[in-house]
Amino acid sequence: EDNRDCENIESERSSGNEDHSQEDLLTVNRKSRYKRRKKLLSMRTSLASEWIIPIEELKIKDVIGIGHFGRVHRGYWHGDVAIKFVNVSRLTEEAIESFKLEVATFRKTRHDNLVLFMGACMKPPQLAIITSLCRGPSLASLIYEQKDRFTFSKIVSFAREICQGMSYLHSRDIIHKDLKSGNIFYEKCRIVITDFGVSSLVDYNPTPQERNLDCWVIVRDYAVYFAPEIIKKMDLNLVSFGLSAFTKASDVFAFGTVLYEMMVGHWPFSELPVESILWMVGSGKQPPQDEIRLPVELKNILNTCWEYDPEKRIAFTNLLKALNKLPERYLRRSPSCPSNSLT
């Protein structure tokens, strides 16, 4: 459409040798249409270039970590940033266009519980996403490295903030597709969700260890978040699976897993190998909940997230309502983080 506008403007420009004595209403209209189009074009161009960051402007520092979708560096661009270089196996025009389209949706996200999207590097072979740097630990590192045990009010407070960020994303029709404790950070008394939508941009990259195996094995910290309907669509002997299987309801299922991790301090079915977990979840089994020493209302909330039928699964806006209805007597506010109900 942009190209068409350009052509029109050019042709209108070149046809500017009319006889001025005949300047009439029609010409005036054409002039104002031309001006309007020119303004629209420049607005579009500035919108598109607003979030493209030239790679030369970035200072790339040390690697923070390597995930399945690429590697993340600490960086500097008008302040500290995180730079996520993504793996795209075939950098076709089409792949770059779809990257641009997906990234365009990130810049529309403005929410306190979502990582700040700052821009992207679009110069192949360097495709990178630049976001604010999260300084706090991820929930995964709190649970599995620092071995924190969360109080009831801390779980509820974290859950609320995750639901706020997620209901915002879903209201804009953005599906996270990779909601997990490793993509949720806790910094300065607030929860920050990262990596929303990123998995649809890039290729899943098996680790060297996974590549040595005869068939493709999904790592535990990815597999435990899959909803049953996703598992049922997977071909376990293949190297990839359709990301179209992910829906808002599958994000809610993944949130259930995060909630469970916060409640018990480990992954569901942590004693089982990954293939068995996939089989269990795919056939509607849930991990036993008798070890959970928390109010039954929270267990009920967990079960509404883990409904086998995606149609019956609760939506994030209703989850928020359910969390807000939990009896006040369970919750105590923290003096250091008054906005959070932490103890």
Query: Binding site residues for ATP, as ranges?
Result: 84
Of positions 31, 42, 49, 65, contacts ligand ADP by CB under 6 A: 65
Radius of gyration of the chain (CA): 24
Distance from C-alpha of 263 to C-alpha of 335, rounded to nearest angstrom:
23
Task: Find out whether 8 and 37 touch, Cβ atoms under 8 Å.
Answer: yes
Task: Find out whether 327 and 153 touch, Cβ atoms under 8 Å.
Answer: no
Longest dimension (CA), the chain: 90
Q: Hunting for tokens 């932490």 — which residue is that? A: 342
Of positions 88, 103, 114, 115, contacts ligand ADP by CB under 6 A: 115
**What sections of the chain are H helices per DSSP?**
2-14, 25-50, 93-106, 139-140, 152-171, 208-211, 220-223, 228-232, 248-264, 274-282, 296-305, 316-324
Distance from C-alpha of 342 to C-alpha of 189, rounded to nearest angstrom:
9
Q: Which is nearer to Mg ion, 85 or 152 (CB)?
A: 85
Q: How far is the CB of 241 from ligand ADP (least distance, A)?
A: 17
Of positions 117, 143, 195, 223, contacts ligand ADP by CB under 6 A: 195
Q: Please identify the residue of the shown chain whose CB is closest to the bound Mg ion.
A: 195
In sequence order, what are the residues at sequence separation of 6 or more whose Cβ sits closer than 8 angstroms to the Cβ of residue 46? none
Q: How far is the CB of 33 from Mg ion (least distance, A)?
A: 47
Is residue 88 a contact residue for ligand ADP (CB under 6 A)?
no
Q: Which is nearer to ligand ADP, 68 or 170 (CB)?
A: 68
Q: Which is nearer to Mg ion, 109 or 183 (CB)?
A: 183
ω into residue 125 within 30 of 0, thus cis? yes
Q: Which is nearer to ligand ADP, 85 or 260 (CB)?
A: 85
Of positions 53, 58, 67, 166, contacts ligand ADP by CB under 6 A: 67
Is residue 60 a contact residue for ligand ADP (CB under 6 A)?
no
Distance from C-alpha of 165 to C-alpha of 167, rounded to nearest angstrom:
6
Contacted entry of Mg ion, ligand ADP, none for residue 138, CB cut-off 5 to 8 Å set by kind: ligand ADP
Contacted entry of Mg ion, ligand ADP, none for residue 175, CB cut-off 5 to 8 Å set by kind: none
132-140, 230-238, 270-278, 283-291 -> range binding ligand ADP (CB under 6 A): 132-140
Q: How far is the CB of 225 from Mg ion (least distance, A)?
A: 12
Contact residues for Mg ion, defined by CB under 5 A: 183, 195
178 tagged catalytic: yes
Catalytic residue among 80, 178, 235, 309: 178
Q: How far is the CB of 182 from ligand ADP (least distance, A)?
A: 4
Of positions 103, 134, 305, 320, contacts ligand ADP by CB under 6 A: 134
Buried-state track 1-23, b at ≥16 Cβ within 10 A, e below 16: eeeeeeeeeeeeeeeeeeeeeee
Angle formed by the axes of helices 2-14 and 25-50, nearest 10°: 140
Q: How far is the CB of 181 from ligand ADP (least distance, A)?
A: 10
SS3 content of the chain, % helix, strand, coil (to 5): 45, 15, 40
What is the three-class DSSP state of 142? helix
Is residue 64 a contact residue for ligand ADP (CB under 6 A)?
yes
Binding site for ligand ADP (CB under 6 A): 64-65, 67-70, 72, 82, 115, 131, 133-134, 138, 182-183, 194-195
Task: Give catalytic residues, as residue numbers.
Answer: 178
